[in-house]
Amino acid sequence: MARRWPVSLYFTVPVQHPELPEPPSTDPPPPDAPPNGRAVLLVSVLMIATCSIFYELLISSISSYFLGSSILQFSLTIGLFMFFMGVGSYLTRFFQQDLLTHFINIEIWLGLVGGSSAMLLYFSYSLTEHYYLVAFALIGTLGALIGLEIPLVTRVVKDYASLKDTLAQVLSFDYVGALVASVLFPLLLLPYLGTLRTAFLVGMLNLAVAWFNAQVFASQVRRAKWQQQLSLGLMALMGVGFAYSLKINTFFEQFIYQDEIVLTQQSAYQRLVLTKWNQDLRLYIDGALQFSTTDEYRYHEPLVHVPLALARARERVLVLGGGDGLAAREILKYRDLGHIDLVDLDPEMTRLAQQNPLFQRVNGRSMLDPRVKIINQDAFKFVEQATERYNLILIDLPDPKGPELGKLYTREFYQLVKKILAKDGVLVTQATSPYFANQAYWCVVRTLRQAFPWVQPYQCYVPSFGQWGFVLAMNQPPLPQPAPPGQDPDDRLARHVWARLGQLLGPQAAQLKYLDEDVLSTLFVFDADTDEPVLPDSLKINTLDAQPLIYYYEQSLKEWQ
């Protein structure tokens, strides 16, 4: 007879157990641990997280300043930092004892290496050819040290609370520190302290964390007295670097710029450097030459006078960029000029152009003229919000070496500009070199053709820059009647421009340093090596969604560097 098993063996009835609280840490804090030890460690987490983001932003900004291509520099720096932080976090598994001692030692190393990082980057760029080698070595060292910090602190804080509470508190303070750094760096540290002083200051913060922890946990740390003394000594060294950072900066920059540096200024947006040799003044923005007084008129006269000659009126003129006041100087030569709105993002640039005697001598005090209204605003936002209509819109912006500038060369931006341009108004933009950056130049031309029915490229030769290009755009052709048979349309346009300049400027037309009838006849002529690529689909249109112009420009820089 088959044996029957109890029902309980065939069916499993689930038993509901009440949720049990997480047991407290099995490793109580040492008996000699200070009562405020947990609070000190959590504040330390906040400080070290802030310093970590500062180092990432510093190296990214300096690399962008020296090498351009901000997207590439920030992506490389952040990606490598994260990788080496992972390496550092993995290495913490080999730290078994004296965690606080190791943590304080790491902070000392971070303060020393991080505080010196900007100076080392300036040294590598100015005096060696191995910038990337030094930058990657710094990123690897700092990233690994930063990766060691948080796991070690977490294991120490775990002695004061449960693992659940420890992780929540440590990560919360870590993320808050990251936010603090991300806000303070662009708004306060970079514009007011610059890169070198910021690096020295952040290094001092790391060293202060090391000193304070060595003092609070002196009974639990080996060689605490030595750590305190070393931290204070290195803080003093960083303080000396902070105090003499301007001289250190000038020393290294003197190797970058051939001429004597007479002015340096770090704004919230860019680094401004003015050099002087004999009577030649040169302005550099983020290391890129903006003008030389020996030949800047060869750039500004074609930029300004060609479109103003084609404009039917000069009652309202909009200048986007041009914060040095040189374009405004040329515009103010017209007797029938009504008003200039000059929009430049950087108030430090326009302040120098208004108040600095060297700039005043070059721009003829144009920025103090009552007809010039200075507006410190992003050009895209200004155009987007503008309600006035302008007879001339002159775009005198730096080359499109990043997305923040590339957006001002897009189809969408030109469509916005078209809305505030008078029906018979003229748009002109500088558009980099058709020789050194041929694809980038003709990309701008083709992008403008997406917004305007009449577009005319032209160029001139500026010794400091080489062949340089501009582009005109209008809602209707300036000469409604087609050119007679046998007459070159470009030559006809050049003759029209010269005749109009004579009417508008009178005797001043003959006083222009560069433009005359013969020069004008060459502006609209492109040689075979600067002319537009033949294949119609060989260049893409620059849009906000995709900015191929930046790629074209960066490729040209690589070729010529």
Residues in the chain: 561
CA-derived radius of gyration, the chain: 31
Active-site residue list? 396
Instruction: Give every CB contact of residue 535 below 8 A, 6+ residues apart in sequence.
Output: none
DSSP letter at 189?
Answer: I
Nearest in space to 341 (alpha carbons), one of 305, 311, 369, 372: 372
Would you put residue 433 in left (φ > 0), alpha (ψ -120 to 50) or beta? beta
Do the beta carbons of residue 420 and residue 393 sit within 8 Å?
Answer: yes
Amino acid at 102: H
C-alpha 487/C-alpha 204 separation (Å) is 72
Strand pairing class (316-321; 390-396): parallel
How many Å separate Cα 503 from the centre of its chain? 43
Nearest in space to 72 (alpha carbons), one of 553, 410, 540: 553
Strand partners, 375: 343
Nearest in space to 352 (alpha carbons), one of 332, 325, 379: 325
Residue 291: in which H helix or E strand, if any? strand 288-292
C-alpha 91/C-alpha 148 separation (Å) is 7
